[in-house]
Amino acid sequence: QKEVEQNSGPLSVPEGAIASLNCTYSDRGSQSFFWYRQYSGKSPELIMFIYSNGDKEDGRFTAQLNKASQYVSLLIRDSQPSDSATYLCAVNTGSGGFKTIFGAGTRLFVKA
């Protein structure tokens, strides 16, 4: 089992719709969870981070965490063509929490 799993996609949604990106992780002791966006040929940039169970909202983005199910998701409301990118789920893990493991990413296409 991979440590951080994401559906590679591509996920295609029409402009204005809600995009839902999912991620599961294997280390039950993980405490910190991150979503990064990476445009083609660019570096990852932080979108959201979440530490506690529940929802965390920032503008059009909502991160959801369920530690019991070892599941974290990212919702993008009112999706825009500029949201088209690869979204990387990252989980802080390992003994002492020194390591961040990235998922393989989900490619999102928002159709105008």
Partner 1 sequence: DTAVSQTPKYLVTQMGNDKSIKCEQNLGHDTMYWYKQDSKKFLKIMFSYNNKELIINETVPNRFSPKSPDKAHLNLHINSLELGDSAVYFCASSQGRRSNQPQHFGDGTRLSIL
Interface residues toward partner 1, by CB under 8 A:
31-32, 34, 38, 42-46, 49, 51, 86, 88, 90, 92, 96-102, 104-105
Rounded distance, CA 37 to CA 43, Å? 8
Question: Is 11 or 101 the residue whose CB approaches partner 1 more closely?
Answer: 101
Task: Please state the closest distance from residue 33 (CB atom) to partner 1, in A.
Answer: 10
Task: Please state the closest distance from residue 55 (CB atom) to partner 1, in A.
Answer: 18
Question: Is 49 or 61 the residue whose CB approaches partner 1 more closely?
Answer: 49
Rounded distance, CA 8 to CA 5, Å? 9
Task: Please state the closest distance from residue 60 (CB atom) to partner 1, in A.
Answer: 19
Task: Please state the closest distance from residue 86 (CB atom) to partner 1, in A.
Answer: 6
